[in-house]
Structure 1
């Protein structure tokens, strides 16, 4: 899923909805965030990268 604001995304998924952070990834400290969260059986990947998951979309 696409995210646009790291702070707002963390506040919403981790604090408000109660998801647990599974991982965070950045290529370098100044690049966009890619993170995984999980709550019960629901796991989501959240990314500031615009085309993640749509690489073959026309």
Structure 2
């Protein structure tokens, strides 16, 4: 069961990161800023969903 949750977290992080990163690049944001913002948001969302599971 734990392995399934771990896979779900990784998928959530990847999907959210990809969507955010592409959206931020379309807004003419520098690449490093887009990376940073997307990373923080995807980790935050993963953390929230992790806390909801427990």
Fold conserved (TM > 0.5)? no
Whichever structure has more helix as a proportion of its residues is 2
Q: Higher RCO, 1 or 2 (CA under 8 Å, sep at least 6)?
A: 2
Bigger Rg, structure 1 or 2: 2
TM-score (norm 2): 0.30
TM-score (norm 1): 0.29
Whichever structure has more strand as a proportion of its residues is 1
